[in-house]
């Protein structure tokens, strides 16, 4: 077995040209821990989709990179959006409500798909744009000069989005540039350089969160960050392990295991039957006696794609 990160770390390389910008992360989080890259630039010129690594972690016509938070609770606590490079604010918008995009409210986002956002002009025709920011959080105005790391506002749920994230678009003379592989005509997977100031791993999918509950939670509760119960009562009617993940592909295997104080309680595998940008699965056992044994309980979840382990997380709980 090998991990999906093996051989997938991008090498630190000089920008394509001396005039190209060097970008830092546009979000104040730790990639792989408190946030993740949900989607990359779509580099397929036709109706198909293809990210810079020849993978499919994107969607038709996607023009930027999405840095996503784990849950709505993280958004509510506040996570800053940061300027990726020095420049001057060309424009901004605030006041768009933080509401998940649905078919019923689609008309309200027409012409405001970016939601609340900021556009920064950089030298030599470069621009960066930051979308879906929290209503009322924008801290800069048109004409302001900013430096790398300047707080622009906070991650939100405004515009055409269904999960809290900041969408970063990079443009040169008005044309989309993929910061992971800026030579847009380059064959996918053949990356000679990028625009980032440090190594960023390409991860084709992974686990966002896992947790215990006394019942199968709703997807809304999982996304909100309110589904996990840090402790269950001894007479809880169920013992459920759930997982929230992203970048799922048909045929991926999710293994879920629960070990209790008296040994293995559950060990099962679930195969995804379709591609899913974000998804959750849950499984568990009903209480068959008057109480659960007292002691430590460990839930382990793994996401597998063939022989590659895309992610593994554990959660622990104690029942008195």
pLDDT in tens, 41-87: 999 988 889 999 999 999 999 999 999 999 999 999 999 999 999 99
What are the residues whose beta carbons fall under 8 Å from the beta carbon of 271, sequence distance 6 or more?
251, 252, 253, 254
| Phi, psi (rounded to 5 degrees) for 75 | -60, -45
Q: Where in the chain is the domain with CATH 2.70.70.10?
A: 10-177
pLDDT digits (tens, 9 = 90+) for 227-282: 999 999 999 999 999 999 999 999 999 999 999 999 999 999 999 999 999 999 99
The tally of CA atoms less than 13 A away on the side-chain side of residue 127 is: 18
Q: Where in the chain is the domain with CATH 2.60.40.10?
A: 206-319
Q: What is the pLDDT of residue 11?
A: 36
Radius of gyration of the CA atoms of the chain, in A: 21
- Does 150 have pLDDT greater than 80? yes
What single-letter DSSP state applies at residue 97? -
Runs of H (alpha helix) within 225-276: none
Domain 10-177, CATH class in plain words: mainly beta
Runs of H (alpha helix) within 116-268: 219-224
Runs of H (alpha helix) within the chain: 72-77, 219-224
CB 40 within 8 A of CB 180: yes
What single-letter DSSP state applies at residue 239? E
- Taking all residues of the chain, what is their mean pLDDT, rounded to a whole number? 92
Cα angle 176, 182, 186; round to 5: 105
pLDDT digits (tens, 9 = 90+) for 100-148: 998 888 888 888 999 999 999 999 999 999 999 999 999 999 999 999 9
209 vs 16, more confident? 209
| Phi, psi (rounded to 5 degrees) for 56 | -125, 30
Region 17-28: what's the mean pLDDT?
88
The CATH number of 206-319, from 3.30.70.260, 2.60.40.10, 3.60.15.10, 3.90.550.10, is: 2.60.40.10
The two three-digit tokens of residue 207, written as one number: 């686990």
* Residues in the chain, total: 320
């Amino acid at each position: 077995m090998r991990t999906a990160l093996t051989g997938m770390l991008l090498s630190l390389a000089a920008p394509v040209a001396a005039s190209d910008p060097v970008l830092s992360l546009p979000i104040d989080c730790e990639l792989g821990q408190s946030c993740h890259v949900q989607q990359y630039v779509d580099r397929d010129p036709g109706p198909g989709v293809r990210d810079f690594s020849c993978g499919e972690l994107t969607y038709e016509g996607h023009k930027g990179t999405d840095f996503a938070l784990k849950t709505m609770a993280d958004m509510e606590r506040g996570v800053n959006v940061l300027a990726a490079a020095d420049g001057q604010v060309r424009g901004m918008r605030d006041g768009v409500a933080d509401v998940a995009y649905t078919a019923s409210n689609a008309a309200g986002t027409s012409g405001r798909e970016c939601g609340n956002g900021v556009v920064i002009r950089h030298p030599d025709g470069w621009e960066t744009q930051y979308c879906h920011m929290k209503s009322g959080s924008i801290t800069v105005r048109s004409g302001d000069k900013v430096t790398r790391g300047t707080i622009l506002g906070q991650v939100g749920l405004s515009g055409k989005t269904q999960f809290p994230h900041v969408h970063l678009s990079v443009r040169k003379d008005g044309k989309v540039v993929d910061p992971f592989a800026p030579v847009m005509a380059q064959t996918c997977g053949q990356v000679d350089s990028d625009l980032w100031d440090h190594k960023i791993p390409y991860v084709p999918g992974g686990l966002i969160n896992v947790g215990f509950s006394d019942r199968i939670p709703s997807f809304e509760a999982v996304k909100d960050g309110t589904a996990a119960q840090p402790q269950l009562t001894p007479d809880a009617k169920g013992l459920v392990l759930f997982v929230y993940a992203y970048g799922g592909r048909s045929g991926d295997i999710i293994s879920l295991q629960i070990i209790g104080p008296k040994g293995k309680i559950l060990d099962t595998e679930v195969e995804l039957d379709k591609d899913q940008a974000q998804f959750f699965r849950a499984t568990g056992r009903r209480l068959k006696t008057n109480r659960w044994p007292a002691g430590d309980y460990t839930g382990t979840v793994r996401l597998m794609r063939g022989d590659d382990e895309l992610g593994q997380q554990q959660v622990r709980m104690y029942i008195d």
